[in-house]
Structure 1
Amino acid sequence: RALWLVLSMLSLSLLLVVLGAYTTTRAESLNVTGYMSGVFLTAAIVFLSFGVIASFLCLMIDGVGVLLNMDVRPLKAGRCQYYSSGSSYVYENFYTTVPCWNLRESCTMTVRSGTCYCCDLYNCAGDYMNSYFEFVGVQSCEEVFTLYILIWTLTGVNLVAFFTGILTAAVLGNI
């Protein structure tokens, strides 16, 4: 049982690293930390407690910190726009000023090329709402949905790694 648990933890760790690295590179303005637990678990399979703690922290940071502040309702309703400079390069530093409006006011917002922005979530007064209102480095607003699903998947794998790590540490401690 101990060998199977250690092998499953190693597999989960590698999955976390690969999925986390892929998710992190999908958008420039959204930081994802879920892969760090996989790095800790892979590097320190003997010191499982570091990986278990890292899984829990990544679960809290991504699951609570990022996902609860990522409102996809304006995206689903089609109220977000995508700005591209017209070139084939996503990461060019072309900026433009776009009109932005929400239920209370209207203003202008400066966005960079390769950005999906949601005026519904942007506060024109300058202090931003808790939600993310722009996603820099994406190729379309539909890609933000993929990012949302990837972060939820990464959070779920971290939850499985957390409980599997506790179980593995208990079995190994019993031996």
Structure 2
Amino acid sequence: MYHRYIHFIIGGWLTCIQKTYRNPRKTNWEVYKTDLDTGLKATIRTIRSSIELEMLAGQVQDAIISAFNDNCPLVSKSSNKDIPWCNKDLANLRKQARIAFNKAKRTGLWEEYKQTLTTYNKALRLAKRESWRRHCEDIEGTPECARLLRILCKEPQSSIYTLKDESGNYTKTGGRL
């Protein structure tokens, strides 16, 4: 068997940035209040100096932040801007196609809808083709290391640390397969 897959990881320098945020509207406020009460009960009660006041302020801040982080889920940012070929012309053509579809549904005359949909699909294919061409030209214009980073960040692969042998098991040594 001459065709074998080699799975590998390039470690250390590859960091794909994934933006995350917390949406306060999704916070479980009832549990937040109980967690905050629990956190505030553990703070200093008597303040005798400015140092103790600073410590108390830090403890209150930590209690608020930890209660919020525990009860407000961390969400990965998703955006429509990940579609590189989407533009105003395509959005307008799609809108026209939807209007033609609804009109054809009511009247039973499908020819105008078919023409509008064909126009939209042709424009969509052209936009995708041009977007892919721009992407490839951008990658060819960058140095090797940056090129690998851009390609791997766009489509992250699953991490596998070893090679597979003929039986499909992962190897345990660096010897020959």
TM-score, normalising length: structure 1: 0.29
What is the TM-score of this pair, normalised by structure 2? 0.29
Higher Rg: 2
Q: Is the helix fraction higher in 1 or 2? A: 2
